[in-house]
Amino acid sequence: LARPGGTLATFTSAGFVRRGLQEAGFSMQKRKGFGRKREMLTGEMRETPEIPARAPWFARSGTEQRDAAIIGGGIASALLALALLRRGWQVTLYCADSAPAEGASGNRQGALYPLLSQHDPALARFFPAAFTFARRLYDALPVMFDHDWCGVTQLGWDTKSAQKIAQMIALNLPPEIAVAVDARTTAQQTGVETGCGGIAYPAGGWLCPQQLTAELLALAATRGLRVRYDYPVTDLSADNNGWQLNQRQYHEVVVLANGHQLTRFSQTEHLPMYPVAGQVSHIPTTPGLSKLRQVLCY
């Protein structure tokens, strides 16, 4: 995306960011930070590096066709449909339910924060980047949905959770993404006494996935999205030209975004995926809980 002579500036001064940009061919320097930041990074591409192809085993060559079917009806389906429409694709969404967001995306609230892992370097790089991308995307969407970027605090409430949080803190991420907090700071930021510290995600918060999904699909419909509700797809068959759904509908490309039902097809049943049970409880508030100013995770 950059040619020799191209310049950049980034708010962070993290070492892994600097090293990654140097590997990509940039000459990097630390400068005085913006606002309250002590340092920031600037760089210039002196010459285009010869980077060998490192495509993973699951890489697929791009398709020249621009017609796609999306199987699903949640937030992933809605965001993907809108992204493809922006790129000029024709998109049809097949939803097994009579309305969008009838599965996990139908929750009233969902916390937004990065999943941090010290055990997998790829995940340690992916999720912070995915989190910051999601925040920018949600802020830029031209739709209305209930949300509050009030911050998220994950508590180290027992020995096991405290050890896990210590491993996440050891990743040494920029404080704008994740920062360690003690019990006193946790009480000040959340507004309630928890008796323990943990890790805080200042840019995190909550959103209403049900509203977001519905609004995204409504926006996508104005841009040409075709939606088939009450249309469960039970069979996929492929030939040299594309995919057939239920031996009726034909599309050049099919994207599966149907959550825990992804492995229901013969083409996907071998994938190492399994459903995880979840539970949502709604309780009346109390004078103590009404003081809560952040999302709390245990």
**Structural domain total, the chain:** 3
Domain membership flag for residue 118: yes
Residue 97, in any domain of the structure: yes
Same domain, 91 and 132: no
Question: What range does the domain containing 101 cover?
Answer: 67-107+209-263
What 3-state DSSP class applies to 173? coil
Do 197 and 118 reside in the same domain of the chain?
yes
Round the average pLDDT of the chain to a whole number and report it.
91
Claim to verify: residue 228 and residue 93 sit in the same structural domain: yes
136 and 196 together in one domain: yes
Residue 34 within any structural domain of the chain: yes
Return the closest-CA partner of residue 39 out of 12, 8, 18. 12
- Residue 286 domain-assigned (yes or no): no
152/215 same-domain check: no
Burial class (CB in 10 A: 0-12, 13-18, 19+), 64: exposed
- Residue (of 123, 100, 102, 127) closest to 112 by Cα position: 127
Residue 115 sits in the same domain as residue 168: yes
pLDDT digits (tens, 9 = 90+) for 59-96: 555 556 599 999 999 999 999 999 999 999 999 999 99
Q: Is residue 2 one of the residues assigned to a domain?
A: no
Identify whether residues 18 and 89 lie together within a single domain: no
- Which CATH number belongs to the domain containing residue 227 in this structure? 3.50.50.60
**Structural domain includes residue 277:** no
Of 39, 48, 35, the closest CA to residue 10 belongs to 39
Q: If pLDDT is split at 50, 70 and 90, which confidence band does 55 have?
A: low
- My answer on whether 257 and 123 are in the same domain is no
Question: How does residue 23 score in pLDDT terms, banded at 50, 70 and 90?
Answer: confident
Q: Is residue 268 part of a domain?
A: no
Confidence tier at 102 by pLDDT (50, 70, 90): very high
pLDDT one-digit tens code per residue, 125-184: 999 999 999 999 999 999 999 999 999 999 999 999 999 999 999 999 999 999 999 999
Report the distance separating Cα 113 and Cα 41, nearest Å. 25
What band does 49 get if pLDDT is binned at 50, 70 and 90? low
126 φ, ψ (degrees, to nearest 5):
-70, -50
What is the pLDDT, as a whole number, of residue 159? 96
Residues 103 and 214 in one domain: yes
Residues 184 and 223 in one domain: no
Q: How many whole angstroms separate alpha carbon 188 and alpha carbon 266?
A: 53
Same structural domain for residues 173 and 189?
Answer: yes
- pLDDT for 240 beyond 70: yes
pLDDT at 25 over 70: yes
- pLDDT greater than 90 at residue 209: yes
Residues 137 and 89 placed together within one structural domain of the fold? no
The verdict on residue 225 lying in a domain is yes
